[in-house]
Amino acid sequence: MHRRKQRKPAHRFLSSVGNVPSDDTSRAKDYSYCYCYYYTPTRKKTQAFERLRAHIFHILEKTDGMGLIFIRTIVIFIATLIVMRLMGKRQIGEMQPYELVITLVIADLACIPMADNSIPLLYGLVAILTVYFLHQVICLLDLNFRQAKAVVSGIPSIVLNKNGIDDAELKKNNLDVSDLIESLRVEGYFALDAVQYALYEAEGTFSALPKPDYENLQTSLPIILIDEGKFDEKNVERTQKSKAYFMDVLQRLGCKNLKKVLVMTVDGNGKIYFQQKGEKYKTLSLSWDKALW
């Protein structure tokens, strides 16, 4: 509780501040209602704060800047955490490209004032808040303008359709056939001909739509024999067949040039999936005596 304001004789008050001598009561009578604030609890709190601040700076000087780095790190960490929470919850794999860039920039900006005491802490905080402001502006454009969304976030790409793999879309997204097959396996589809459409989403994940008559009855794992016009030597050996054997299979499928083959897979039961660049895929069942794997 604050103490009540204490009235003090005017001549003593004026004497304490150096305005009039203590015996000059003729001048003091005009100041009979002056109040003294010099020893109130408010001033005591101010003095305590000043002593605490001086004590903290004394400790920081003794630690050769280590204590200052400790305090700056705490402040930057709290500020960065608040900004990241305001940006929303997303996993790394679900981030849009601009969100990942902003996250990396914030991380870099947060490190600079923590490591360098010569840079004012306020500079780092302002930089982080500026990046957050840019994030909010981009989000606003992303939500309200389709063209801006396509430029900033990108759009999904159909990398596999009814005709087979779209090689142009794969190259556009810096992907190859192996990436597509691996991602489809993660989604639970081991055969390329089991999928009607496969999309490469803007945030870098795959989604697949199976064919209407698809039944998950795959009993053998398909392996890649030819990828982008080249044989996979290890997988050819796994089939216990020779390259000449599969070159004959290519002839049966109407392919005369190995370099034109986009992909050819085979499972342990002898089912072939084959596609040339720019053409529709084909399937063929080989007459094998038994399942090889």
**pLDDT for residue 15 is more than 70:** no
Query: Which residues, in sequence order, are CB contacts of 180 under 8 Å at separation 6+?
Result: 159, 160, 165, 170, 198, 206
pLDDT in tens, 221-245: 999 999 999 999 999 999 999 999 9
pTM exceeds 0.75, yes or no = no
The average confidence (pLDDT) of the chain is 81
